[in-house]
Amino acid sequence: MNDLLAKYKEIALLGKIHSLMGWDTEVNMPPKGAASRGEQSALLTSISVDKWLDPEFKKLLNKAFSKKNLSLKEKAIVRNLKRASNIYYKIPKELLVKESKLTSKAFVTWAKSREENDFKSFAPYLEELLKISREVAEHLGYKDNPYDALLDLYEPGLTAKFCEDLFNRLTPELSHLSLELKSPKKPKLLRLPIESQKELAIFVLNQMGYDFSAGRMDVAPHPFETTLGRFDVRITNRYSDSSLEGLTGAMHEGGHALYEQGVNEKFEYTPLDHGVSLGIHESQSRFWENIIGRSSEFAKYIAPKYKLTQKDLYNLLNQVKPGMIRVDADEVTYNLHVALRFEIENDLINGKIKVQDLPEIWNSKMKKYLGITPKNNSEGLLQDVHWSHNSFGYFPTYTLGNLYSAQWRFYMQKELNIKKLVEKGDFKPILDWLRRNIHQYGSLYYPGELVKKVTGENLNPRYFLDYIKEKYQTSH
Amino acid sequence: MNDLLAKYKEIALLGKIHSLMGWDTEVNMPPKGAASRGEQSALLTSISVDKWLDPEFKKLLNKAFSKKNLSLKEKAIVRNLKRASNIYYKIPKELLVKESKLTSKAFVTWAKSREENDFKSFAPYLEELLKISREVAEHLGYKDNPYDALLDLYEPGLTAKFCEDLFNRLTPELSHLSLELKSPKKPKLLRLPIESQKELAIFVLNQMGYDFSAGRMDVAPHPFETTLGRFDVRITNRYSDSSLEGLTGAMHEGGHALYEQGVNEKFEYTPLDHGVSLGIHESQSRFWENIIGRSSEFAKYIAPKYKLTQKDLYNLLNQVKPGMIRVDADEVTYNLHVALRFEIENDLINGKIKVQDLPEIWNSKMKKYLGITPKNNSEGLLQDVHWSHNSFGYFPTYTLGNLYSAQWRFYMQKELNIKKLVEKGDFKPILDWLRRNIHQYGSLYYPGELVKKVTGENLNPRYFLDYIKEKYQTSH
């Protein structure tokens, strides 16, 4: 096992280097640097794949697979390696290298397309990426639906059927609620200069427990968290004159970062490092962004710093109003945005719709679910970075995250008076609960095992629907 | 040759990735990230060395070495590969990996030591680094002096004896001149906010012809230029309330960057890419920083933007006054700083002095050459980043750069009216001259060949001494 872990450490280190390259591409790289970065990234992918394919590594891996009497940790290591190695043993290396090269260019094109509302420039990349995704699905294998193979990459065992059932349960209630609710008149946002917003975001992150000496926050077009090392967990954020996205973005990405900064240090460079799945990861970000950050107690705590009343800040953070942009969506309508993306991805992967028809399809689905129509593709199907990364299958994990976060809240409340703590800005007991129950385990438990271990039951959407109803039917 | 170049391209790409890691370490990395970055860097070094040592690559290389009837370009490619491969074929891989690991940690320790004036924390690293440098010298081989092996790494053929002769010729005249000159009373610097200084630095870089769409400028403790790709050439800079280092630093690093941005695009990923040596590189940075940037014509051009008179700005830029900090030194005393470092390095490598005695030795040499004594180690031997990078042998190239830059000036003047152009801020003909005569060739010609090709003669210190005397004995 030690030989295997020593070899895996090299793979883990290459992954960190790759994360740095990805971070730099989105945060700092000058536009003309894209082509070379693409070649660099493809080479690193190739080297990393070679390490997976190294016969010596494969031998050690097979030996570990067949071992009996493994400890809990060893079992998890073997299971995670098996899962990860599927990608390299089933997908041809050339395809992975091709994907890596293409996404580097696709990202830059997407950013420009979005800026210039120019879907046509991005469309050929999307075609190519879809082709690759379909090939990947074929190589990985699936039972009913090629999309299942992609969903499983982000959340072990997730299927299109499961998502469909979930969204069928969620969307009617959420649509109903969003129609029933009358949003209070949107209060005027006091215009804080961007610099002050940044300072406040830093203040809140410090309060939450984010360790800036093992991380940093930069500005990027799409906020994200990335782990460049166990002690180098970075987030990006963006600010606007007319919204609180600088606050909610910081809490969201901060939630991801706290998870990564809380994993057992001994797991560094092993297959147990990092959060276990995108769904659980998103449960951390949404917990901080929504359950804490959009609560009236948090509004009470932070309002003075924003020179607003508690009520105005709360109303600003909780406008239930169908909007164009997923990341700006309120808690009620957010999952409707995800449902739309899920349907489109499922149809794209299955060849039921064409890339060239996407603008029309997007708009008609927006109309159906949210009753509104984007005025252009930049605020429509070009808004998200994910497809430029070829991350088909990623979006549904956002909804899983919302559901998990509400379930954590329900059980955390049995131990802690969350409202009282948040009102005082005393987040430490909350972070400690998350560290103790979730963060420390990294990838030791699969999502299903973790939720069972922590809450004694499986993922249960009831907690989310109850939370939403309680919050919005009481407070309005 | 094509197979060889294809394999070399991978090495070149890994070098670019390594440059990104180095850049990030100095510009962005949070302090706790250092340990993992060190491991990442060591792994990348190891992978890169493996590519050099790959028997297939070695075979192709030997085949190329023995080939006859090569074109000029092919000859240069083979020669550069031979030179570079010496490092990998003569120095054991473990030593290179060890060095890479150590320098990552040493850099962070150096930065902290300098900040806290704590030489004791850095000293053990310096000991270790010296040990490695001596081992490297033994592996590379040398005739008279192990230091020669290190000098040659930065400037083909450079020896301690050559440097000694050079400094013996330079130091008496420069010391004499610095004593003879009476600096005008230092004018009051109008305090420009850092933000305005940054904007002016960007303005000047744009005027010089630096392409920001293929580069960027950030703040770092030690200004430097680094090439992350043919179209990703970055510089760092620093600003102060009480000096013009934000201007002179931008022009200096901008000079390096213009060189890299001017290399024949077809040389990308080949052994002909990049500037040919540190000495020639420094001739570009010093040309822009000093010969252009400290001229009275440039002062006339830029003074209004700094809200100063031409005379005051000129006097600020040309205070001939012995100071503690090399990078802030005037043109007359600068090479005295280099002479001091050269002597210390020569003695350190030859084991004639001990690390623990360095503070005392530094101070006594400062007294001897510059007549002043640092008040602490932070403004003494901890001021430069180089030793933390294990770059013994690097400093003398600064003096070579100064000498070359004056020689370029002399011959450029035969074709261009430099003064008139600079006065108008019309730098394009100057950049074109450098591009045509120097930049485009990248590493096609060795420094000695290049200076002969451009000026018809060898490196000649007379041009520098004449330039200095003309400038300072006329204007004061």
> What are A249-282's pLDDT values in tens digits?
999 999 999 999 999 999 999 999 999 999 999 9
**A240 neighbors A286 (Cβ within 8 angstroms):** no
What pLDDT score was predicted for residue A476? 45
Alpha carbon distance A132, A127 (integer Å): 9
Cβ distance of A35 and B212 shorter than 8 Å = no
Residue A175's pLDDT is what?
A: 84
Q: Do B228 and A39 touch (CB under 8 A)?
A: no
Widest CA span of chain B, in angstroms? 65
At a CB cut-off of 8 Å and minimum separation 6, what does B463 contact?
Answer: B403, B406, B407, B409, B410
Task: Single out the residue of B371, B369, B360, B383 nearest to residue B340, CA to CA.
Answer: B369
Chain A nearest-CA residue for B27? A28
Report which of B439, B456, B459, B468 is spatially closest to residue B284, judged by C-alpha positions.
B439
Query: Helix (H, G, I), strand (E, B), or coil: what is residue A472?
Result: helix
Tell me: the pLDDT tens digits for B106-138? Answer: 998 999 999 999 999 999 999 999 999 999 999
- Per the CB < 8 Å rule, is A232 touching B36? yes
A219: helix, coil or strand? Answer: strand
Residue A474 pLDDT: 67
pTM, full prediction: 0.89
Q: Per-residue confidence of chain B (476 residues) as pLDDT tens digits?
A: 899 999 999 999 999 999 999 999 999 999 999 999 989 999 999 999 999 999 999 999 999 999 999 999 999 999 999 999 999 899 998 898 899 889 989 998 999 999 999 999 999 999 999 999 999 999 999 999 999 999 999 998 899 999 999 999 999 899 888 878 877 677 777 678 999 999 999 999 999 999 999 999 999 988 999 999 999 999 999 998 888 999 999 999 999 999 999 999 999 999 999 999 999 999 999 999 999 999 999 999 999 999 999 999 999 999 888 999 998 899 999 999 999 999 999 999 999 999 999 999 999 999 989 889 999 999 999 999 999 999 999 999 999 999 999 999 999 999 999 999 999 999 999 999 999 999 999 999 999 999 999 999 999 999 999 999 999 886 54
**ipTM of the complex as predicted:** 0.88
Closest-approach residue (CA) in chain B for A44? B14
Q: What is the pLDDT of residue A96?
A: 86
| Inter-chain contacts counted by CB atoms under 8 A, chains A and B | 102
Which residues does chain A have with pLDDT short of 70?
A: 184, 190, 474-476
On whether any CB of chain B is under 8 Å from the CB of A18, the answer is: no
Q: What is the pLDDT of residue B338?
A: 97
Q: Is B449 a catalytic residue?
A: no
A50 — contact with chain B (CB < 8 Å)? Answer: no
Taking a C-beta distance cutoff of 8 angstroms, is the pair B244, B50 a contact? no
Establish if B415 touches chain A: CB-CB under 8 angstroms. Answer: no
User: Is A17 close to B21, i.e. CB distance below 8 A?
Assistant: yes
Q: Among B231, B234, B235, B263, which would you mutate to test the A interface (most chain A Cβ atoms within 10 Å of its Cβ)? A: B231
Q: Measured between CB atoms, which of A36, A44, A213 is closest to B32?
A: A213
Quote the Cα angle for B294-B425-B279, to 5°: 45
Q: Are A119 and A109 in contact (CB under 8 A)?
A: no
| Chain A interface includes B195 (CB < 8 A) | no
Tally of helices (H runs) and strands (E runs) in chain B: 20, 3
- If we measure between CA atoms, which residue out of A389, A391, A361 comes closest to residue A377? A361
Contact A30 B216 (CB under 8 A): yes
Residue A248 is predicted with a pLDDT of 95
Alpha-carbon gap, residue A268 to A76, rounded angstroms: 14
Length of chain A: 476
Chain B interface mutation, best of A9, A11, A14, A43, highest count of B Cβ atoms under 10 Å: A43
The pLDDT score that the predictor gives to residue B474 is: 67
| Residues B372, B252: Cα–Cα separation, whole Å | 26
